[in-house]
A and B are shown apart, each in its own frame.
Chain A
């Protein structure tokens, strides 16, 4: 059965071309609850037509495959394996669910994902990473749960990193991850899924910050010592609602927060990675800063980079008072470049799940030689932002982020890279450098 399906898939690929038809207008998306009974600002939902009628279609950047259950998910017919078919993405909100994108002759898995958000939201398929990776995916994720989200599929995005940073966008580079071989059963032929997962570094639970606070001092060599928060590596999963953390990651964060590792409320997490509810413990996180997922020779880690960016921002905000940049943030007579980041605040819902859960094991199936992924940052956590997932960027992908209009800093703060805080006229953190700020002795 599976062998013939695989053969059909291959033949389909050779004899016909994949057609990705879409326009450049936004596609309205509904949202699943972040948690059972929670705010409907969670996983993104389009609609799809199946034999059972209109059903939800999950839009999940974190899901490693594209799927559509040909017989719907209410049917008792056993799912198949793979096939070449059509995935019509329908408006997730409008009555009549107009077709807003059509992907024809694409490879699909004939399976149902797990419920999204709560047990009642059963998607018939997933528009996952492999299809999304053909585009730059623009996502508008309103904080207001009553407003629909939207997705726009772009063929490219104008502007270099510098231009976009100047325009106010935080550019978080990432390596594509997730390539893994899968098989329907032991000893059967396997398929290799492409690397489409967006993984970014994060600093969980850093201390609060305000440019009106007292200056943080930092001597040369102390840059890492002044960091606060817990380093994490997170996948961006728009089909999920909350921030999902492995138990081991949460224990590190809890230690940072000074709360008991067992804190929280027991409950269920409904995620496309598992067809049944995943046991979870629900807790709240005060803030989370997302950084690039790539590393280089000067990368210090998310929390250290966050602390550095805040110190340099503080100096710029208080430059009229004759302050100086801290020595640990200087190279020669200039402040070093800061890394772009997106800081999310408020009460962020976190689902803590077992390290051995389907979800955590799945997102780490490609671990070697990559760093372990500690969890997924879901659409509910990202509510209040506008994102563009640039899968097409070379040599690395980019998450291009900005906060929705009227965001307050404690809820959302997008900080582009600041590469010239010492230079007169340089615009960083919404501030203009006077150019006379020196390095502290």
Chain B
């Protein structure tokens, strides 16, 4: 973690714009409000996510309801390790591991992969809207292999991150061709994270990745917490057949993008123990935790060229401002009388993520007729995670994603949109993993000296079992949106 920087006031003001970092993995959900037709130049209720200025193009009252069912599959082929050093290669091999997840709107807290918005254009001068959606979501459950092992256990067993946004939008017509919009919003995070900690780390001569030395951390938030705040700003320009949209969505405000999420449902299973081991007595309390991570800010730019009354082409670029180095920090406290927490099992875990900015490029061609629209989109997204930083909790690489979508006017102002998307991530070979368990040993031998590379690695969360291997990911998504005009 653990570099905190404190700026003088002027610098602090600039932080949200210039210095936003991210630690929580590639949390961005590219399917939010993605009907296959929406974007920063469209003028529908999805603009509250894409570009608030687009709300200025609304005509009359509207409701938009929809969501996506997303199924993600991953496969991990871990490189062999030497159990005495934890580094690759070595005599200990791992079977191929697989994981999967499904995101859909029908769960609590609401919002994941769902979208609901209500709004209205007022007198061709204003547009207002209220929306519920989840701009950042991520989920993955790793499955045990045939022999019951979890090769990725020290990086991930199970995770789910959701961030439900409740946002209000306002757009105004600055001129005939220019709209400006703003969306202040609340962000309600929730999370569940399960992983193992190798308690042999840092012990000279210990066998690494011995399941018998693994402590299981299972942390979950409960209900909706006090919200964080974000702000989106946007501008929309239209002249003739050309439209241009530009938007900025902040990371959580006032914290530099940091989310400090209470995890009230915490179970820690010490090596060979039971979860109750950390609850001294049933009435004396059990551990409580906190998850600290950051979310990115996002810049979005889109342009649409309407060739004729039927055909249009749209290009969209999203710039996700992840930081260069970051991590997730797990903190656990209590109960006071526990002889285990802080001794046998750590009361904190730092998980290195090491993200970098990523770019999401989309090209779209759309055909519009009187009663229907059709669109084809090809999306290319760069990786937010350098190859050597990839692990089961942060699987990312270059992604190619074709999408087809159709919209039909069901009845008067009632429209139904459906889209199918397939995402293919080009396999990522990590090469030498940034995770180096020997750093824990070397740091311990150095007395925790932060001037040594080993202790810098431990501080950053890199002194963990290796994640070297090859990672595969593919995803299918079906989204359905319904819009009602009045």
Q: Do A and B come from one complex?
A: yes
Could you list which residues of chain A lie within 8 angstroms of chain B, going by C-beta atoms? 13-14, 17-25, 27, 91, 94, 96, 98-102, 134, 153-160, 163-164, 166-169, 386, 402, 405, 414, 425, 427, 430, 432
The answer to whether B333 has its CB under 8 Å from any CB of chain A is yes
Give me 6 A-to-B residue pairs in the complex whose CB atoms sit less than 8 angstroms apart, sorted by A's number. Answer: A98-B447, A98-B451, A155-B329, A167-B285, A167-B333, A386-B336
Knowing A24-B350, A158-B263, say if A98 contacts B449 (CB, 8 Å): yes
- How near does chain A come to B276, taking the closest CB pair, in angstroms? 15
Contacts of B451 in A (CB 8 A): 98-99, 102
The answer to whether B11 has its CB under 8 Å from any CB of chain A is yes
The answer to whether B109 has its CB under 8 Å from any CB of chain A is no
Contact B285 A163 (CB under 8 A): yes
Contact A134 B285 (CB under 8 A): no
Contacts of B11 in A (CB 8 A): 14, 17
B142-195 interface (Cβ within 8 A of A): none
- How near does chain A come to B159, taking the closest CB pair, in angstroms? 18
Contact among B4, B332, B333 for A20, CB-based, below 8 A: B4
Knowing A17-B5, A155-B1, say if A427 contacts B289 (CB, 8 Å): no
Knowing A17-B11, A155-B292, say if A167 contacts B2 (CB, 8 Å): no
Contact A94 B447 (CB under 8 A): yes
- How near does chain A come to B345, taking the closest CB pair, in angstroms? 14
Contacts of B447 in A (CB 8 A): 91, 94, 96, 98
Contacts of A96 in B (CB 8 A): 447, 449
Tell me the bound Cα distance from A168 to B339 in angstroms.
Answer: 13
Contact A164 B333 (CB under 8 A): yes
The 10 closest A-B pairs by CB, nearest first: A167-B334, A98-B449, A168-B336, A167-B285, A166-B285, A167-B335, A158-B290, A98-B447, A427-B283, A402-B336
Contacts of A22 in B (CB 8 A): 2, 450, 459
Contact B2 A102 (CB under 8 A): no
- How near does chain B come to A274, taking the closest CB pair, in angstroms? 31
The answer to whether B412 has its CB under 8 Å from any CB of chain A is no
- By size class, the interface of chain B is 35 or more
Tell me the bound Cα distance from A158 to B291 in angstroms.
Answer: 9
Knowing A17-B7, A23-B448, say if A158 contacts B337 (CB, 8 Å): no
Kindly list 9 other residue pairs between chains A and B, CB separation below 8 angstroms, not including A22-B459, A156-B290, A158-B332: A20-B3, A22-B450, A96-B447, A158-B262, A158-B331, A166-B334, A167-B335, A168-B335, A432-B283
Contacts of B1 in A (CB 8 A): 23-24, 155
Contact B450 A155 (CB under 8 A): no
The answer to whether B284 has its CB under 8 Å from any CB of chain A is yes
Contact B264 A21 (CB under 8 A): no
Contact A159 B333 (CB under 8 A): yes
Instruction: Count contacts between A and B, CB distance < 8 Å.
Output: 135
Contact B289 A91 (CB under 8 A): no
Interface string of B448-480 (1 = CB under 8 A from A): 111100010011000000000000000000000
Tell me the bound Cα distance from A157 to B292 in angstroms.
Answer: 11
Contact A100 B333 (CB under 8 A): no
Q: Which residue of A lies closest to B4 (CB)?
A: A20
- How near does chain A come to B294, taking the closest CB pair, in angstroms? 12
The answer to whether B8 has its CB under 8 Å from any CB of chain A is yes
Contacts of A20 in B (CB 8 A): 3-6
Contact A25 B448 (CB under 8 A): yes
Q: Which residue of A lies closest to B451 (CB)?
A: A99
Tell me the bound Cα distance from A347 to B264 in angstroms.
Answer: 40
Contacts of A25 in B (CB 8 A): 448, 458
Contact B285 A24 (CB under 8 A): no
The answer to whether B231 has its CB under 8 Å from any CB of chain A is no
The answer to whether B348 has its CB under 8 Å from any CB of chain A is yes
Contacts of B450 in A (CB 8 A): 21-23, 98-102
Q: Which residue of B lies closest to A93 (CB)?
A: B447
The answer to whether B446 has its CB under 8 Å from any CB of chain A is yes
Contacts of B130 in A (CB 8 A): none
The answer to whether B260 has its CB under 8 Å from any CB of chain A is yes
Contact B6 A169 (CB under 8 A): no
Knowing A20-B3, A427-B284, say if A100 contacts B292 (CB, 8 Å): no
Contact among A13, A134, A386, A432 for B8, CB-based, below 8 A: A13
Contact B337 A24 (CB under 8 A): no
Q: Which residue of B lies closest to A90 (CB)?
A: B449
Q: Which residue of B lies closest to A13 (CB)?
A: B8
Contacts of A99 in B (CB 8 A): 449-451
Tell me the bound Cα distance from A23 to B349 in angstroms.
Answer: 11
Contact among A23, A27, A167, A427 for B336, CB-based, below 8 A: A167
Contact A17 B3 (CB under 8 A): no
Contacts of A405 in B (CB 8 A): 337, 339
Tell me the bound Cα distance from A22 to B448 in angstroms.
Answer: 10
B267-312 interface (Cβ within 8 A of A): 280, 283-290, 292
Residue among B2, B287, B288, B335 with max Cβ neighbours from chain A (10 Å): B2
Contacts of A425 in B (CB 8 A): 283
Residue among B6, B11, B285, B337 with max Cβ neighbours from chain A (10 Å): B285
- How near does chain B come to A423, taking the closest CB pair, in angstroms? 12
Tell me the bound Cα distance from A166 to B287 in angstroms.
Answer: 10
Q: Which residue of B lies closest to A155 (CB)?
A: B1
Contact B331 A23 (CB under 8 A): no
Contacts of B260 in A (CB 8 A): 156
Contact among B286, B331, B335 for A156, CB-based, below 8 A: B331
Tell me the bound Cα distance from A153 to B5 in angstroms.
Answer: 15
Contacts of B284 in A (CB 8 A): 166-168, 427, 430
Contact B455 A23 (CB under 8 A): yes
Residue among B280, B289, B449, B450 with max Cβ neighbours from chain A (10 Å): B450
Tell me the bound Cα distance from A361 to B42 in angstroms.
Answer: 68
Q: Which residue of B lies closest to A416 (CB)?
A: B336
Residue among A25, A153, A169 with max Cβ neighbours from chain B (10 Å): A25
Contact B292 A156 (CB under 8 A): yes
Contact A163 B264 (CB under 8 A): yes
Tell me the bound Cα distance from A27 to B459 in angstroms.
Answer: 13
Contacts of A23 in B (CB 8 A): 1-2, 350, 448, 450, 455, 458-459
Contacts of A169 in B (CB 8 A): 334, 336
Contacts of B332 in A (CB 8 A): 158
Tell me the bound Cα distance from A402 to B284 in angstroms.
Answer: 13
Tell me the bound Cα distance from A91 to B444 in angstroms.
Answer: 13
